[in-house]
């Protein structure tokens, strides 16, 4: 993974103005951008380049799609504590009748300092860990 490329992309989000999506999206606040930078800096470099994109509402999304496995992480703020966190969702691509996603999925939140959990999620999307029930 090219961390500098990721950081430059996040820097570009800092230049966005209100209504950047032409649907009322707010600008990204500096705290969210800095949290995203912290997250990128903590990540291993021996992984594929993530897809990083802005989402309406001022959210930064970082995701990977590898061999039918999908992992997305979003920089958000806890509504109660007002602390920054990373919300994650992983989807194994195995379609079921009860899932609105591509397959079985799991989700949760982590802190950008929790490198063990971040690396575990990345290992999962790379196929270095089993299915969702065995993680």
Confidence of residue 12 (pLDDT cuts 50, 70, 90): very high
Region of 114 (left: φ > 0; alpha: ψ -120 to 50; beta: rest) is beta
pLDDT in tens, 85-110: 899 998 887 755 444 455 567 889 99
Confidence check: pLDDT of 135 > 90: no
pTM: 0.82
Asked if residues 15 and 28 have their Cβ atoms less than 8 Å apart, the reply is: no
Measured CA to CA, the distance from residue 58 to residue 21 in angstroms comes to 10
Q: Cα–Cα distance between 92 and 22 in angstroms, integer? A: 33
CB 95 within 8 Å of CB 70: no
What's the 3-state SS for 39-84?
HHHHCCCCCCCCEEEEECCCEEEEEEEECCEEEEEEEEECCCCCCE
Residue closest to 63 by CA, chosen among 34, 39, 94, 83: 39
More confident residue, 57 or 39: 39
β-partners of residue 87 are 74, 109
Nearest to 67 by CA among 126, 109, 116: 126
Neighbours of 96 (CB within 10 A): 12
Digit-coded pLDDT (tens) for 48-77: 999 999 998 889 999 999 988 899 999 988
């Amino acid at each position: 993974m090219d961390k500098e490329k990721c950081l430059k992309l996040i820097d570009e989000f800092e230049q966005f103005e209100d209504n950047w999506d032409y649907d009322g999206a707010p600008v990204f606040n500096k705290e969210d951008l800095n949290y995203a930078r912290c997250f990128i800096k903590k990540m291993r470099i021996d992984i594929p380049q993530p897809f990083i994109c802005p989402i309406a509402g001022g959210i930064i999304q970082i995701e990977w799609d590898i061999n039918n496995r999908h992992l997305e992480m979003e920089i958000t703020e806890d509504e109660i504590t007002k602390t920054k966190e990373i919300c994650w969702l992983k989807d194994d691509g195995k379609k079921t009748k009860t899932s609105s996603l591509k397959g079985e999925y799991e989700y949760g939140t982590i802190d950008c300092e929790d490198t063990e959990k971040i690396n575990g999620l990345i290992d999962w999307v790379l196929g270095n860990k089993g299915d969702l029930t065995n993680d």
